[in-house]
Chains A and B, each alone.
Chain A
Amino acid sequence: MNTMEIAKIKRVVKDTQRIKTFILDIDVSAIPGQFVMVWLPDVDEKPMSVSYTSGDMGITILELGDFTRRLCELKVGGKIGIRGPMGRGFKVYGDRLLLVGGGVGMAPLAPLAEDAIKEGKEVTAIVGAITAKELLFVERLKKAGVRVFVSTDDGTAGYKGFTTDVLQELLQKETFDQCFTCGPEIMMFKVLNIAEDKEIPTQASLHRYFKCGIGICGHCVLDGTGLRVCKEGPTFRDKELRKSHEFGYYWRNAAGQKIYFGVKK
């Protein structure tokens, strides 16, 4: 059953200037890549990736609009509702893994990296952010034993430019069994293209507007495939995404209208 459970906040960590992690007093045993619907009574309910998947559950929030601002005001002891974990997590089968994360997109990738290292796999991560102060989970990854490359748009840390530039360069010299990505859709679209050239199977975690979060309302369905991002996703294989002419070009708002990322195709 997918009923709502009320959780208490046990710990709050300020990860960056705009990102906070909330550790809750419930253990949902999620697979990295799965999400929960987070309810703030009288405010709203939105999907959040599970960023700490075993033991006390954690979610990591970028302050953006009203909902996330109200969420980020919560203190230890505060109560929120949780439905989940839901959706399909990442599927790991290779031994040499590459992660490409942009901004808060590192949230589902960090637990994936930790689990993989525990299983003796080799993990490399390219972590990107607009500026040094917004880099998420770099220390967490290094502590786990991940080889980390960093890029920032403004050059305040690591490579000055995009994660995809670092990716392109890295793939000149090395290869990987699998690639996992989460971040702005334009970035994931480019990651898929670059990895595909090198024949590296890639999984991406998508963001669409969620209402029910459970696969019944249809608001998150991808054109071209009919797949529900909340149910068959949010993680998809490159092959599945290639069948959708929507991926990389547009998404749908709360009313179900198409909103283009850049210029209309």
Chain B
Amino acid sequence: MLDIELLGMELKNPLMLASGILGVSGASLKRVALSGGAGAIVTKSIGMTPREGHRNPTFVELDNGYLSAIGLANPGYVEFEEEIDVAKAGNVPIIASVYGFSFREYVEVGRVMEGYGADAIELNLSYPNVGKAGAFYGYSEELAHEVVAEVKKEVNLPVIAKLTAGAGDIVAIAKACEDAGADGITAIGSLRAMKIDIETGRPVLGNKMGGLSGSCIKPIAVRCVYEISREVSIPVIGCGGITTGEDAIEYFMAGANAVQIGTGLLSRGITIFKKVSLEIKEYMEENGYSGIDEIIGLAL
């Protein structure tokens, strides 16, 4: 009932693990697939060289969401081969998230991930907390277009562009990506934000700025998915603030073909994918739907 086909991949359900969530090692990804029940897993964003990331605090809970600034910490693409190998035992499609400080780096890491046997590539054009990487490309139509076009030239896997609502006009960016040959769009990544502790008068995060995620960003993300879905014909993957089946259904109705779950794991555990799957099924049964495709885009 929940199985879908997306960009040539068979997913047993439309719920993916979002990038950067339990995604730096194969053992961790495998657990999310096997025990968690995710339909697909997206790796941590991987770059050319190992990165230690920002100093702590890198994560703090807020009233209605979370603020994080891990700083793209990752072991680098050479060492990640082993992790992909281990993650394959999870038996679900693996989407390799890739970031770079130049077009060349995005292309290079994408090519290598293809060699490792990833099923698709997600270009991180959304991460807001590291200078000239991630969102730096997602804020500009020209840069987004060029990075997608360059990667498409050398990578034969489906290429998904992950975008940020921090861009002035996310719809224009999505169209630029589609025009450059992107096979799908993920919307959205965390939103640049900050938290100051008023007892000490200091910014809490080590990086001062971080990315906002969780329930508080959902209405913004749903709006983005809705607007993008109306303008592009490639699949859209919704992301931001999903913790329940109702949240996911809202995204499908806004036009999402699949969704990603990140910090929702904190309140509902690693098995959130199984729980949300059940809740979607219940909703579909109660309302007489027999396939996800029947609700996709209902609100458009």
Q: Could you tell me how many residues of chain A have their Cβ less than 8 Å away from some Cβ of chain B? A: 40
B153 touches A (CB below 8 Å): no
Identify the closest chain B residue to A211 (Cβ).
B58
B265 touches A (CB below 8 Å): yes
The proximity string for B residues 165-203 relative to A, scoring 1 for CB distances below 8 Å and 0 otherwise, is 000000000000000000000000000000001011010
B199 touches A39 (CB 8 A): no
B244 touches A (CB below 8 Å): no
- Residue of B28, B52, B55 near A221 (CB, 8 A) is B28
- The docked-state distance in angstroms from the alpha carbon of A193 to that of B16 is 40
Most buried by A among B35, B61, B263, B265: B61
Known: A41-B197, A212-B68, A255-B53. A225 touches B27 (CB 8 A): yes
A1 touches B (CB below 8 Å): yes
B245: A residues at CB distance < 8 A: none
Our count of residue pairs bridging A and B at CB distance below 8 angstroms stands at: 131
B263 CB → nearest A CB, Å: 6
Kindly identify, within residues 174 to 197 of chain A, every residue whose CB is under 8 Å from any CB belonging to chain B.
none
B64 CB → nearest A CB, Å: 11
Binds A, one of B3-11, B72-80, B125-133: B72-80
B25 touches A (CB below 8 Å): yes
A218: B residues at CB distance < 8 A: 21-25, 28, 44
B82 CB → nearest A CB, Å: 9
Binds B, one of A42-50, A107-115, A119-127, A130-138: A42-50
B204 touches A39 (CB 8 A): yes
A211 touches B27 (CB 8 A): no
B25 touches A254 (CB 8 A): no
B297 touches A (CB below 8 Å): no
B177 CB → nearest A CB, Å: 27
- Residue of B60, B61, B73 near A255 (CB, 8 A) is B73
- The docked-state distance in angstroms from the alpha carbon of A255 to that of B49 is 10
A215 touches B (CB below 8 Å): yes
Identify the closest chain A residue to B201 (Cβ).
A41
Known: A256-B25, A257-B79. A1 touches B61 (CB 8 A): yes
Identify the closest chain A residue to B49 (Cβ).
A255
A46 touches B75 (CB 8 A): no
Identify the closest chain A residue to B33 (Cβ).
A226
Kindly identify, within residues 44 to 59 of chain A, every residue whose CB is under 8 Å from any CB belonging to chain B.
44-46
The proximity string for B residues 43-87 relative to A, scoring 1 for CB distances below 8 Å and 0 otherwise, is 010000011110111111110001010100111100100000010
B31 touches A (CB below 8 Å): yes
- The docked-state distance in angstroms from the alpha carbon of A168 to that of B269 is 40
B152 touches A (CB below 8 Å): no
- The docked-state distance in angstroms from the alpha carbon of A39 to that of B204 is 9
Most buried by B among A42, A211, A213, A225: A211
A42 touches B27 (CB 8 A): no
Known: A256-B75, A257-B75. A211 touches B51 (CB 8 A): no
Known: A211-B70, A221-B22. A79 touches B200 (CB 8 A): yes
- The docked-state distance in angstroms from the alpha carbon of A223 to that of B52 is 19
- The docked-state distance in angstroms from the alpha carbon of A164 to that of B50 is 37
Kindly identify, within residues 140 to 168 of chain A, every residue whose CB is under 8 Å from any CB belonging to chain B.
none
> What are 23 pairs between A and B in contact, CB < 8 Å?
A4-B60, A4-B204, A37-B56, A39-B57, A45-B206, A46-B56, A81-B200, A211-B53, A211-B58, A211-B70, A212-B70, A215-B266, A216-B22, A217-B22, A218-B22, A225-B27, A228-B28, A254-B73, A255-B73, A256-B25, A256-B50, A257-B75, A257-B79
Knowing that A218-B23, A254-B53, A257-B76 touch, tell me 14 more A-B residue pairs with CB under 8 angstroms: A1-B61, A3-B61, A42-B202, A79-B200, A210-B56, A212-B58, A216-B21, A217-B59, A218-B24, A221-B22, A223-B26, A226-B30, A256-B50, A256-B73
